[in-house]
Amino acid sequence: MRFATLSSGLEDTDVTEREHVTRRRFIRDAAAGAATLAATPSFVSALGAGDQGSATKLPWYRRAYLWGQTNITEKDPTRYDIEWWRNYWKRTGTQAVIINAGGIVAYYPSKFPLHHRAEFLNGRDLFGELTKAAHDDGLFVMARMDSNRAAEDFFNAHPDWFARNADGAPYRAADKYVACINSAYYDEYLPDVLREIIERSHPDGFTDNSWAGLGRNSICYCANCTRKFKEKAGTPLPRKADWEDPVYREWIMWSYARRTELWELNNRITRAAGGPDCIWSGMNSGSVTSQAQSFRDLKEICKRADIMMLDHQRRDDDTGFQQNGDTGKRVHSLLGWDKLAPESMAMYQSGPGYYRVASKPAAEARMWMIAGIAGGIQPWWHHVGAYHEDRRMYKTAEPVMRWWKANERYLINRTPVASVGVGWSQRNTDFFGRNNAGDLVDAPYTGFMHALVRARIPYLPIHLDDVEQQGGGLKLLILPNVGAISDAQASSIRRFVESGGSLLATGSTSLYNEWGDARPDFALGDLFACHRDSGAARSSPSTAREGGGDPSGAFAPSPSGHTYLRLTPELRARIDGPKAGDEPRASGDRHAVLSGFEETDLLPFGGTLTPLKVETNAVVPLTFVPPFPTYPPETAWMRQPTSDIPGLVLSERGKGRVAFMPADIDRRYAREHLPDHSRLLANVVRWAARDDIPLSVDGTGLIDCHLYEQPRRMILHIVNLTSEATWRAPVDELIRVGPFKVTARLPSQLTRPRARSLVSAAERPVRVSDGAATIDIDWILDHEVVVVE
């Protein structure tokens, strides 16, 4: 105890003094750095320009492009150097800030006695002071709530406002109690807090870190939930999580509806108290699986949101930086490309290895920002705490934000250009993915994302409800193991193909309805030219999924996963060609999807496949080689070298083409990174799209290409993913790639275009031929944007 007292005393005196000395020194150094940067003329003019012309007529949330957040800790009221942070706002060109207001912790003297004040607040109105400072500096303010839990005194005063388990015990999170989303805490108390904050300090809007309440893994049995669910469903709450139970399914949908209702309620409250532009926009994840686990319906929220506040702070080793580009495109495809989607980007080390007050390696933080910007996301620096002894983090955001500001007009209000769409739906994550969405839904999607990036094929995420609305410009729709498809969605996909579109589906696509109930056959079997062979099926769809695997049986672990796919010559490609037990033969004329595999008759696979009935008009270029031992090596010989079980089924449908790939090559690629799998996926995509891809890029390196149009302008954003840490964060050293030769289809109005690169800041010669522009890029370090106009 003496130690604790001593250490706390040090923190309050000696260390604080040292902090101030260090801070003064740093402010001086930072000011010198800013002066050096500002000497570049383009920075000065761009930063001085501000929002001109028609932009000023837009509501604030449509012109707040550059965001910042100092996430205030309870200690900070004693050491928040507001002047220093004002300088930081200025240096980074920040236009809007997120300031902690209330919820779990209040940063102002709230009139509500149970609203827990920050431990070191000492009566100060830190939120109010910061809001005034930001407004004085011309910044917009989003008051940040973090609203889903409270301390014991609050729980004791309102025991009926808190979530409870089946035994009636309150749900706890550390020393706090979790508030129930169906209680008066959300309907009465929080609205009163929002009104109080508006009356006191007039923020421009609100966001909330944890507005969606208790997640899917915990059913609340409090009196409110018990009563409200009974009123809605006419039955008691489900006793446990059971996806087969209609009551549990009803509970899932009811839980979603309540979050969407709260979104609307909160907006009514803040707009009534603070005016029509005083919006409420809770935070959302860039992961659909995370959204599903917290009942945040991305599509319904995007319908209602004026701005999307993304809390998606870092890359995951499995999905890479490119996932942030994917997130931007996914959100904008629902939200519209005219609205903004800022994203919280950690300047601290946020994992793997979680250090709230240590700097994230600058290259790692920078690349996450850039990858998001390429997908249409607006940058938002995020520091935890208002004081840091690791000051390197203060230099990470500034150059990215300044570059953004200087090139703003090319980074907003643009339309993506792609001929390939990748289908998804949150409903599929819920009812097909269930408790295993990572394997069943995310991995197959990620496999295609990686393969398309590797092949430099621009693509767009397409919500399954929007296939007809957004699929008009698409040549190809990819459905990566999208198991749960409703009859209505199947009909719209069918109409897409009937009107000339192509389809590439894998695994269990359309084998389930919207509740995840197995269908007797693929809903899209007629398009696949391929059907379940009930007589030969080794497992039913429902029993296979209960075992934790894929109903197609395709994702089986080793050692039974020592399987292969045989490349079948064109002449033997009909399903009635190869016979089980035939000796394999050398390759003959092969299908275009097998290009690049001339020197092999086998591809590694690893999954298992069941027989299917294939229509006679279809071609089967890959067949299954059943498992054989791997160990000891003497046993590693094929017991059954061939089979008639298809791994890929191809057919022509009028102008369109359909590829059905029972083999889970997409998920395999996400997990195993085998280049053969990437090449195969890209080959099938190009065949199905009839090579109608608006972009080609020659040159070595792993790059992510995003193509956009604005009126009389084409914009190509290339993100360099090549580094010593491509598949494992953090990256420390950026590695230059190039040269590249880029050829992109020109918008028809552009006949004599000029091209400029926005990162290397140079005019680029353009060669025009057959409606396409060819431009050379000498090298790319982190990213490059080519504007052709």
x/- map, 160-179, Zn ion, by CB under 5 A = ---x----------------
Q: Which of 163/702 has CB closer to Zn ion?
A: 163
Shortest approach of Zn ion to residue 208 CB, angstroms?
18
Among 97, 101, 194, 220, binds Zn ion (CB under 5 A): 220
Q: What is the DSSP string of 622-674?
A: EEEE-----SSGGG-S-SS---S-EEEEEEEETTEEEEEE-S-HHHHHHHH--
Please state, in angstroms and as integers, the Cα–Cα distance from residue 557 to each residue in 554, 561, 665, following that order: 9, 5, 14
For Zn ion (CB under 5 A), the number of binding residues is: 7
CA 370 distance to own-chain centroid? 14
* CA gap 664, 675 in Å, rounded: 15
Q: Which of 220/462 has CB closer to Zn ion?
A: 220
H/E element, 207: strand 205-208
- By CB atoms closer than 10 A (0-12, 13-18, 19+), residue 273 is middle
Q: Are 728 and 351 in contact (CB under 8 A)?
A: no
Interface with Zn ion in residues 632-691 (CB under 5 A): none
Q: Which of 233/772 has CB closer to Zn ion?
A: 233
Shortest approach of Zn ion to residue 224 CB, angstroms?
5
Dihedral sign computed on CA atoms, order 768, 773, 779, 785: positive
Q: Which of 225/374 has CB closer to Zn ion?
A: 225
Shortest approach of Zn ion to residue 241 CB, angstroms?
16
Number of C-beta neighbours around residue 289 at 10 A: 15
Q: Are 605 and 585 in contact (CB under 8 A)?
A: no
Residues 6 or more apart whose Cβ sits within 8 Å of residue 515: 249, 431, 484
Q: Which of 182/209 has CB closer to Zn ion?
A: 182
- By CB atoms closer than 10 A (0-12, 13-18, 19+), residue 587 is middle
Q: Which of 259/706 has CB closer to Zn ion?
A: 259
Interface with Zn ion in residues 418-437 (CB under 5 A): none
| Nearest Cα residue to 176 out of 160, 204, 153, 196 | 153
Shortest approach of Zn ion to residue 222 CB, angstroms?
3
Q: Quick check: 212 binds Zn ion (CB under 5 A)?
A: no
Shortest approach of Zn ion to residue 192 CB, angstroms?
20
Residue with tokens 């017991």: 639
* Paired residues of 455 in beta bridges: none
- 300 φ, ψ (degrees, to nearest 5): -65, -35
Q: Which of 171/624 has CB closer to Zn ion?
A: 171
Shortest approach of Zn ion to residue 159 CB, angstroms?
12
The token pair at 109 is 């003297």
x/- map, 600-629, Zn ion, by CB under 5 A = ------------------------------
Shortest approach of Zn ion to residue 427 CB, angstroms?
24
**In b/e form, how buried is each residue of 568-579, taking b as 16+ CB within 10 angstroms?**
bbbebbebebbe
Q: Quick check: 214 binds Zn ion (CB under 5 A)?
A: no
Q: Which of 180/422 has CB closer to Zn ion?
A: 180
Q: Which of 295/381 has CB closer to Zn ion?
A: 295
Shortest approach of Zn ion to residue 183 CB, angstroms?
6
Q: Which of 218/415 has CB closer to Zn ion?
A: 218
Q: Which of 107/221 has CB closer to Zn ion?
A: 221
* CA gap 32, 38 in Å, rounded: 10
Shortest approach of Zn ion to residue 264 CB, angstroms?
20
Q: Which of 227/303 has CB closer to Zn ion?
A: 227
Q: Which stretch binds Zn ion (CB under 5 A): 63-71, 221-229, 545-553, 589-597?
A: 221-229
Give the 3-state DSSP-derived string for 270-285, with helices as H, strands as E and coil as C: HHHHHCCCCEECCEEC
Shortest approach of Zn ion to residue 41 CB, angstroms?
59
Cα 300–Cα 303–Cα 308 angle in degrees, nearest 5: 95
Q: Which stretch binds Zn ion (CB under 5 A): 153-161, 212-220, 445-453, 719-727?
A: 212-220
| Nearest Cα residue to 462 out of 500, 499, 513, 501 | 501
Interface with Zn ion in residues 69-108 (CB under 5 A): none
Shortest approach of Zn ion to residue 213 CB, angstroms?
9
The token pair at 654 is 């009028």
Q: Which of 180/665 has CB closer to Zn ion?
A: 180
Q: Which stretch binds Zn ion (CB under 5 A): 220-228, 340-348, 512-520, 644-652?
A: 220-228
Shortest approach of Zn ion to residue 186 CB, angstroms?
10
Q: Are 507 and 552 in contact (CB under 8 A)?
A: yes
Q: Is 733 helix (H, G, I), strand (E, B) or coil?
A: coil
Q: Are 468 and 490 in contact (CB under 8 A)?
A: no
Q: Which of 134/179 has CB closer to Zn ion?
A: 179
Q: Quick check: 222 binds Zn ion (CB under 5 A)?
A: yes
Q: Which of 180/645 has CB closer to Zn ion?
A: 180
Q: Which stretch binds Zn ion (CB under 5 A): 54-62, 158-166, 282-290, 580-588?
A: 158-166
Q: Which of 219/684 has CB closer to Zn ion?
A: 219
x/- map, 575-594, Zn ion, by CB under 5 A = --------------------
* CA gap 671, 439 in Å, rounded: 10
Q: Is 687 helix (H, G, I), strand (E, B) or coil?
A: helix
Shortest approach of Zn ion to residue 180 CB, angstroms?
3
Shortest approach of Zn ion to residue 152 CB, angstroms?
18
Q: Which stretch binds Zn ion (CB under 5 A): 219-227, 484-492, 520-528, 735-743?
A: 219-227
Cα 682–Cα 478–Cα 621 angle in degrees, nearest 5: 55
Among 133, 143, 179, 225, binds Zn ion (CB under 5 A): 225
Please state, in angstroms and as integers, the Cα–Cα distance from residue 23 to each residue in 20, 363, 546, 685, following that order: 5, 24, 58, 55
* Paired residues of 756 in beta bridges: 763, 787
Q: Which stretch binds Zn ion (CB under 5 A): 165-173, 225-233, 403-411, 753-761?
A: 225-233
Among 64, 180, 648, 755, binds Zn ion (CB under 5 A): 180
| Nearest Cα residue to 659 out of 667, 668, 670, 647 | 647
Q: Which stretch binds Zn ion (CB under 5 A): 218-226, 314-322, 340-348, 667-675?
A: 218-226
Shortest approach of Zn ion to residue 113 CB, angstroms?
24
Interface with Zn ion in residues 311-330 (CB under 5 A): none
x/- map, 118-157, Zn ion, by CB under 5 A = ----------------------------------------
- The alpha carbons of the chain give a radius of gyration, in whole angstroms, of 28
Q: Is 247 helix (H, G, I), strand (E, B) or coil?
A: helix
Q: Which of 21/169 has CB closer to Zn ion?
A: 169
The token pair at 603 is 């591809």
Q: Which of 255/489 has CB closer to Zn ion?
A: 255
| Nearest Cα residue to 623 out of 679, 672, 657, 574 | 574
Shortest approach of Zn ion to residue 181 CB, angstroms?
7
Please state, in angstroms and as integers, the Cα–Cα distance from residue 63 to each residue in 51, 134, 372, 545, 713, following that order: 8, 16, 18, 47, 21
Q: Which stretch binds Zn ion (CB under 5 A): 21-29, 30-38, 216-224, 324-332?
A: 216-224
Shortest approach of Zn ion to residue 280 CB, angstroms?
22
Shortest approach of Zn ion to residue 110 CB, angstroms?
24
- By CB atoms closer than 10 A (0-12, 13-18, 19+), residue 503 is buried
Binding site for Zn ion (CB under 5 A): 163, 180, 182, 220, 222, 224-225
